[in-house]
Amino acid sequence: MDKDFENFKEFVKTYSQSTQKLYLHYLTQFFSFVKKSSQDVEAVDAMRYLNFLREQKNYSDNSIASVRRVLSAYFGKHVGKDIMAKIPIKRTKHLPVILTREEVKRLIDAADTEKEKLVIEFLYSTGVRVSEAVAIERQQIDKKRGLLRIRGKGDKDRYTVIPLDWLRRYSQVWKKKKQRYLFAKKNNKPYGVLAFERIVRRAAEKARLRKRVTPHTLRHSFATHLLEMGENIRKIQKLLGHSSLATTQIYVSVSTKEIAKTPSLLEGLSCSFRNCVLRKLGKGRRSDRASRAKG
Catalytic residue among 69, 138, 216, 280: 216
Catalytic residue among 23, 49, 191, 251: 251
Catalytic residue among 23, 74, 129, 220: 129
Yes or no: say if 108 and 121 are a contact pair by the CB < 8 Å rule: yes
User: Among this protein's residues, is 86 annotated catalytic?
Assistant: no
Catalytic residue among 49, 74, 191, 219: 219
User: Among this protein's residues, is 25 annotated catalytic?
Assistant: no
Residue type, 185: K
Catalytic residue among 153, 211, 238, 257: 153
Query: In whole angstroms, how large is the CA radius of gyration of the chain?
Result: 23
Yes or no: say if 222 and 228 are a contact pair by the CB < 8 Å rule: no
User: Among this protein's residues, is 251 annotated catalytic?
Assistant: yes
Rounded CA gap, 188 and 178, in Å? 9
φ, ψ of residue 141 in degrees (nearest 5): -95, 130
Rounded CA gap, 49 and 52, in Å? 5
Q: In 3D, which of 250, 188, 207 has the Cα closest to residue 100?
A: 207
Side-chain-side CA neighbours of residue 28 (13 Å): 7
Rounded CA gap, 251 and 190, in Å? 31
User: Among this protein's residues, is 286 annotated catalytic?
Assistant: no
User: Among this protein's residues, is 219 annotated catalytic?
Assistant: yes
**What are the catalytic residues?**
129, 153, 216, 219, 242, 251
